[in-house]
């Protein structure tokens, strides 16, 4: 198990190095000089040159790559071109919204999907299965911003249970913060839960056709016991894969939801940074997202091995 974890960890570091090079190269290719952009159309060439020198843009690409990477490793993401504040601080602030939102949405989606998937698989072909799978079809098809607008209309405008947007910060306590994130989390979670429930159901149905399920029934286990003790854990691998992918998506993919609910999250930060050619912010946020994807993949790999003993030896 330890060796497996170590080999996954090695793979993780290699992926990170490769990703950092690709991100840096991609940003290099993007047209538009941040210094010229910041100073406007009428700036004198020597002013632009001076700003370029100040931002370190006059150095060679390789030198700038290493400055950036060593900085990131030490927690120094550089200074934003437009806001002149440390990028690390900007990301930190936003992360305190995006990360809880992603976790909240993921928890909700799992809490909805697992029971629905189990129920649908247990009643395969009958009314509960057909009904819940019809509902998930709708959940997959309808875009999440539309859900968001429906939720706002019902719960914020008519019922006035939640505010329609904005974020009070965590200073006022956990509850107001969570309350502000509830509607966005539901809007994010519903499509994800629909996908996850369908995956859960089909994985369970595959598993229920296996020989060891028949063995378990012949042992004297009831249908419910078989589903829970022998099918559920065995069906988890595809579910874990989807969960890992969903987390990465939820962390950054909430741009539209963040806009609908006026949340100052990572998605909006990167959106603004791209518009303003604040390349160092773009670079850093993308690197952070890549890091989170790779980290989650690593955790999913470890979870695979925890679930399936056959993977522990490779």
240 neighbors 304 (Cβ within 8 angstroms) = yes
Q: How far apart are CA 40 and CA 83, in angstroms?
A: 15
Q: Give min distance, CB of 86 to another protein, in A.
A: 39
Using CB under 8 A, pick the residue from 189, 216, 285, 289 that binds another protein. Answer: 216
Q: How far apart are CA 2 and CA 110, in angstroms?
A: 28
Q: Give min distance, CB of 220 to another protein, in A.
A: 4
For the beta carbon of residue 226, count every other beta carbon within 10 angstroms.
Answer: 21
112 neighbors 189 (Cβ within 8 angstroms) = yes
Q: Which residues contact 68 (CB under 8 A, 6 or more apart)?
A: 24, 78, 280, 283
- Beta carbon nearer to another protein, 94 or 201: 201
Q: Does 229 bind another protein (CB under 8 A)?
A: yes
Which stretch, 193-201, 265-273, 295-303, 304-312, contacts another protein (CB under 8 A)? 304-312
Whole-number CA gyration radius for the chain: 24
The structure tokens listed for 195 are: 């996908």
Using CB under 8 A, pick the residue from 47, 85, 137, 222 that binds another protein. Answer: 222
Residues 14-53 as x/- pattern, contact with another protein by CB under 8 A: ----------------------------------------
Backbone φ, ψ for residue 179 (5° rounding): -65, -40
Using CB under 8 A, pick the residue from 73, 174, 218, 275 that binds another protein. Answer: 218
Using CB under 8 A, pick the residue from 79, 234, 246, 284 that binds another protein. Answer: 234
Q: Does 156 bind another protein (CB under 8 A)?
A: no
Q: Does 13 bind another protein (CB under 8 A)?
A: no
Q: Give min distance, CB of 299 to another protein, in A.
A: 19
Q: Residue 171: helix, strand or coil by DSSP?
A: coil
Residues 191-210 as x/- pattern, contact with another protein by CB under 8 A: -------------------x
Q: Give min distance, CB of 194 to another protein, in A.
A: 26
Helix axes 236-252, 174-208, angle to 10 degrees: 150
The structure tokens listed for 168 are: 């009070």
> Interface with another protein by CB under 8 A: which residues?
210-212, 214-222, 229-230, 233-234, 307-310
């Amino acid at each position: 198990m330890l060796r497996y974890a170590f080999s996954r960890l090695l793979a993780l570091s290699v992926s990170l190095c490769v990703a950092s090079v690709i991100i840096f190269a991609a940003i290099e290719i993007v047209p538009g000089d941040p210094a010229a952009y910041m100073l406007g159309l009428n700036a004198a060439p020597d002013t632009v040159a001076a700003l370029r020198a100040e931002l370190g843009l006059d150095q060679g690409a390789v030198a700038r790559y290493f400055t950036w990477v060593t900085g990131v490793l030490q927690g120094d993401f550089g200074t934003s071109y437009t806001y002149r504040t440390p990028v690390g601080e900007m990301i930190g602030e936003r992360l305190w919204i995006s990360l809880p939102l992603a976790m909240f949405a993921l928890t909700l989606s799992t809490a909805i999907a697992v029971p629905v998937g189990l129920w649908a698989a247990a009643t395969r072909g009958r009314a509960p299965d057909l009904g819940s799978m019809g509902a998930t079809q709708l959940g997959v098809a309808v875009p999440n911003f539309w859900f968001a607008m429906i939720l706002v209309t019902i719960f914020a405008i008519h019922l006035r249970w939640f505010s329609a947007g904005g974020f009070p910060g965590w200073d006022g306590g956990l509850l107001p913060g969570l309350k502000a994130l509830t509607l966005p989390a539901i809007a994010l979670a519903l499509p994800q839960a629909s996908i996850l429930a369908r995956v859960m159901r089909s994985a369970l149905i595959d598993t229920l056709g296996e020989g060891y399920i028949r063995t378990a029934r012949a042992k004297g286990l009831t249908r419910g016991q078989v589903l829970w003790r022998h099918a559920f854990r065995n069906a988890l691998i595809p579910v874990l894969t989807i969960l890992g992918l969903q987390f990465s998506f939820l962390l950054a993919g909430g741009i539209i939801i963040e806009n609908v609910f006026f949340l100052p999250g990572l998605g909006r930060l990167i959106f603004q940074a791209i518009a303003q050619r604040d390349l160092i912010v773009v670079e850093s946020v993308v690197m952070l997202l890549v890091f989170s994807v790779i980290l989650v993949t690593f955790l999913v790999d470890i979870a695979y091995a925890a679930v399936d003993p056959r993977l522990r030896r490779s």
